[in-house]
Amino acid sequence: MSSFEDPVVDLSGQTALVTGGASGIGMTVARRLAALGARVVVADITDLAGQAVADEVGGVYLHLDVSDPGAWSEASAALVDLDIAFLNAGVSTRIDGDADATEAPMGEVTERAYRRIMGANVDGVVYGARAVLPAMVARGSGHIVITASMAGLGAIPFDPIYGLTKHAVVGFTKSLGVTYGPAGVCTSAICPGFADTKIISPDLATMLEALNVPIISPERVADTVVAALAAREPGSLWAVWGDLPITRYVPNPVFDNLEVPL
């Protein structure tokens, strides 16, 4: 594994899409990309907050439910000239107030909760990649950065379905890297630890504190996105945990880069 800190990136003249851009990691990355010179398309379903972020960064707002394939089709005109797509929108498994949920890790996975998390965390990434790749491939350039998680690199006992979605995203990233890297389109994923966003409920924050698990700032996650953009290594995974250096995660260079014949 190799660490990567403080890259110099100039995004002047580039256009970047940020899904889930109205708050948390998305909002912070939208601000960072704009500060680096990019024109930012802030996409979200929370219109007032999303428009406010877009206005702040001098970008444009796009109402987009990432779990809806029709919404991606309707937004296609706004996605043609993208240089960067940060596919970030995501949710946790638990739905507050879900009457059918229990405290058991799999007990909270009601049908409604399962469809919601798969729609945002997996479908949203697949639909997003499908929407932006054709124009990037035709142009021979572009970079897709996907928000995965440290939960996609190991076990997350208290939320197995969240872990499932992030493992799916990690595998998708590596496969897209092999497939589209030769066409000039880079796909990377960031794998942060627990970040200080609305996904961290008060109960979870209390539990993490008791376990001495660090909660990192959204700004630190934005650093990781910039590191991925600067490195431009197709299929790469970029991990950040607490105060440790941002690191390219390579568990096994032999098997991780193996292309499986069909």
Tokens of 215: 């909660």
* DSSP tag of 261: P
Q: Where are the beta strands (DSSP E) in 90-201?
A: 142-147, 185-192
From the list 127, 162, 180, 249, the catalytic residue is 162
Beta bridge partners of 60: 41
* Active site annotation includes 180: no
* d(C-alpha 137, C-alpha 181), whole Å: 10
* CB atoms inside a 10 Å sphere around CB 47: 11
The pairing of beta strand 2-3 with beta strand 247-248: antiparallel
Report CA torsion sign: 226, 246, 173, 164: negative
Using alpha carbons, select from 147, 179, 174, 149 the residue that is nearest to residue 164: 149
Residues that are catalytic: 162
